[in-house]
Amino acid sequence: MNRDAQTATQTLWIYDTTLRDGAQREGLSLSLEDKLRIARQLDRLGIPFIEGGWPGANPKDVQFFWRLQEEPLSQAEVVAFCSTRRPDRSAAEDPLLQDVLAAGTRWITLFGKSWDLHVTDSLKTNLNENLAMIRDTIEFFRSQDRRVIYDAEHWFDGYKQNPDYAFQTLEAAIRGGAEWLVLCDTNGGTLPHEVAVIVQAVVRFVESSSQQIGVTQPQVGIHTHNDSGTAVANALAAVMEGARMVQGTINGYGERCGNANLCTLIPNLQLKLGYTCVESTQLEQLTASSRLISEVVNLAPDDHAPFVGLSAFAHKGGIHVSAVERNPLTYEHIQPEVVGNGRRIVISDQAGLSNVLAKARTFGIDLDKQNPTCRQILQHLKTLENQGYQFEAAEASFELLMREALGQRPQFFRIRDFHVYCDMVRDCDVLRDNDCQGSQSVATVKVNINDRDILEAGEGNGPVSALDAALRKALQNEYPEIKTFHLTDYKVRILDSTAGTSAKTRVLIESSNGHQRWTTVGVSSNIIEASYQAVVEGLEYGLLLQTQVKKALTSS
């Protein structure tokens, strides 16, 4: 998209601040390489503006802008972020602004105070000086051939407390030469009906003020936080009243309760309201982008997130599944493929025959409804779920169960027996001696492959780790691809806590081969046995996937 051209009526400019505002989320920390990887993914997604950080605030942000000068993005504008000059000095003399210029970006986002309370209590200056700070800083950047987006910080709170002064701050930005005036709900306390009324007033003010001053009218934008759970709704309300830039973050990352979630906003704006945000082929990358960025920031993706979540188009009830199979519109508000997601049929004790048939098709198995095996699978499923198994979270285990019932489950190996030993290291203060191990585990396993018994042992920092290590050693000569498999998650759930140490335990293990992920389940009153079931099926399913890939390559 050409940001030099006039914005078309139906075009919205998406502004991503994941790398700056999103990185302020508690528990989120980005390396330089993380920031670069996210920026390039946002560029591929078609985001027009990517806020990279505050140059000079830390060495990492300085290096980020240097790297992108050397290796520019393909279409996105990288934006530097900063505040107005400090009180009682000229913008040209403020060293912080020189660092921002050194970042070499064409666009700069500058934030200033809209709320008189912040001017007097935070900046410790007077209201007129704050107006001068806004105008002077924008004029300085414009004199250095930079284009300016003005973020009106705490706009909605400031407007509600002192609308006359809040409008004066916008007028100062207009006189300074800002091309965008972005209204920020910094505290996240405003509700959609308030946003709509206030944005209406701002749009009228900007039009009349620009005419009186005799300058090109700036565009209005919106920046919302989610402290009231209405960040997305507030942004939509602002757009409906004339805002043409929408600021937010991928997956809604941000300080406190987060920012407006672009993964929800973009499809709502484009698919529901008819605005153009990105190309349709780029919109199809939305789900993959959401999940990739969650991996980079090392936060588990929200499975129930709208549009991009794993469960966004999941169907569990038998009646739902049957209806969706006939016509997806019955229980889906959009086609999942439009945002790069997919329909999922969930298997559980609430499943009907429709679930089993639909799920089989996702595994490449075409079942006849009249086949008695279908009902046997369904009954077996319900029996196991009653015992504590959870197949909606362990679809790999369900595929193995289904293939076994159909006589299609390959037998890569058989476990003859296994033993696990745990030794506690005594007279050891782990708080004082970093080299001291509190416990060690050793597992031995006897595996039969092609009528040949193999005995191996493995060590680990726990019994499951040791068992996994022993199994891999026993199998990797016959199946070298196992070296690429690794455990990515391990969850334990006590099913009947009133039974104390005799309680039944459910173990869910997520595995990956670097390209695909799959989850397996085990249930037992012995946590080691439950873990063993899940680990073994995890390795078995990984080998099944490899076999399917080889067959596909051979047939092609």
Distance between CA atoms of 79 and 50, rounded to whole angstroms?
A: 6
The whole-number average pLDDT for the span 414-436 is: 68
Where residue 4 falls among pLDDT bands split at 50, 70, 90? Answer: very low
Where residue 310 falls among pLDDT bands split at 50, 70, 90? Answer: confident
Q: Is residue 53 part of a domain?
A: yes
Where residue 365 falls among pLDDT bands split at 50, 70, 90? Answer: confident
Least-confidence region, from 201-210, 367-376, 523-532:
367-376
Q: Is residue 288 part of a domain?
A: no
Q: Is residue 335 part of a domain?
A: yes
Helix 95-102 vs helix 127-143: crossing angle, to nearest 10: 30
Q: What are the helix (H) ranges across 49-114?
A: 59-70, 95-102
Q: Is residue 306 part of a domain?
A: no
| Contact partners, residue 164, CB within 8 Å, separation at least 6 | none
Q: H/E element holding 293? A: helix 286-296
| pLDDT value for 405 | 87
Average pLDDT over all residues of the chain:
89
Tokens of 488: 């990515």
- DSSP labels, 365-423: ----TT-HHHHHHHHHHHHHHHHT--GGG-HHHHHHHHHHHTT------EEEEEEEEEE
Residues 224 and 193 in one domain: yes
| pLDDT value for 498 | 65
217 against 553, higher pLDDT: 217
| Residue 148: CA count within 13 A, CB half-sphere | 30
Residues 79 and 216 in one domain: yes
At residue 207, does pLDDT exceed 60?
A: yes
Q: Is residue 304 part of a domain?
A: no
The whole-number average pLDDT for the span 76-88 is: 96
Where residue 392 falls among pLDDT bands split at 50, 70, 90? Answer: low
CATH code (residue 462): 3.30.160.270
Domain boundary among 386, 405, 424: 405
Residues 397 and 499 in one domain: no
Q: Is residue 215 part of a domain?
A: yes
Least-confidence region, from 63-72, 101-110, 282-291, 371-380:
371-380
Looking at residue 461, the DSSP 8-state letter turns out to be: S
Residues 359 and 227 in one domain: no
Cα 551 to Cα 384, 513, 546, 556, distances in angstroms: 32, 18, 9, 9
Note down the domain range covering 328.
314-405
Domain boundary among 405, 437, 459: 405
CATH code (residue 259): 3.20.20.70
- Bridge partners, 291 (sequence order): none
**Rg for the chain (alpha carbons), in Å?**
29
Least-confidence region, from 257-271, 307-321, 495-509:
495-509
Where residue 227 falls among pLDDT bands split at 50, 70, 90? Answer: very high
| pLDDT value for 2 | 41
Residues 43 and 133 in one domain: yes
Q: H/E element holding 80? A: strand 77-83
- The answer to whether 140 touches 91, Cβ cutoff 8 Å, is yes
Percentage above 70 pLDDT, the chain: 91
Beta strand 219-224 pairing with 245-248: parallel
**Count of C-beta atoms within a 10 Å radius of residue 420:** 21
Domain count within the chain: 3
Residues 230 and 327 in one domain: no
| pLDDT value for 99 | 94
At residue 7, does pLDDT exceed 50?
A: no
pTM: 0.71
Residues 182 and 263 in one domain: yes
- The answer to whether 447 touches 454, Cβ cutoff 8 Å, is yes
Distance between CA atoms of 544 and 442, rounded to whole angstroms?
A: 28
**Count of C-beta atoms within a 10 Å radius of residue 57:** 15
Residues 226 and 346 in one domain: no
Distance between CA atoms of 98 and 89, rounded to whole angstroms?
A: 14
The whole-number average pLDDT for the span 343-348 is: 71
The whole-number average pLDDT for the span 340-367 is: 74
Q: Is residue 5 part of a domain?
A: no
The whole-number average pLDDT for the span 486-504 is: 76
Distance between CA atoms of 478 and 452, rounded to whole angstroms?
A: 11
pLDDT in tens, 400-417: 988 888 888 999 999 999
| Contact partners, residue 388, CB within 8 Å, separation at least 6 | 495, 504, 506, 523
pLDDT in tens, 131-143: 999 999 999 999 9
- Output the 3-class SS for 481-546: HHHHCEEEEEEEEECCHHHHHHCCEEEEEEEECCCCEEEEEEEECCHHHHHHHHHHHHHHHHHHHH
Residues 24 and 142 in one domain: yes
At residue 501, does pLDDT exceed 70?
A: no
Residues 145 and 268 in one domain: yes
Chain-centre distance of CA 488, in angstroms? Answer: 17
Where residue 315 falls among pLDDT bands split at 50, 70, 90? Answer: confident
Domain boundary among 251, 278, 305: 278
Tokens of 48: 């027009």
Q: Is residue 448 part of a domain?
A: yes
State the greatest distance between any 2 C-alpha atoms of the chain, in Å, as a whole number: 90
| Contact partners, residue 347, CB within 8 Å, separation at least 6 | 355, 356, 359, 381, 391, 392, 395, 398
Residues 458 and 528 in one domain: yes
The whole-number average pLDDT for the span 483-500 is: 79
| pLDDT value for 376 | 85
Helix count and strand count (H, E) for the chain: 18, 16
| pLDDT value for 5 | 37
The whole-number average pLDDT for the span 75-83 is: 97
Write down the residue that tokens 């009954």 correspond to: 379
At residue 466, does pLDDT exceed 80?
A: yes
Where residue 426 falls among pLDDT bands split at 50, 70, 90? Answer: low
Distance between CA atoms of 458 and 456, rounded to whole angstroms?
A: 7
Cα 291 to Cα 36, 280, 305, 435, distances in angstroms: 16, 19, 11, 37
Residues 258 and 339 in one domain: no
Distance between CA atoms of 318 and 375, rounded to whole angstroms?
A: 14
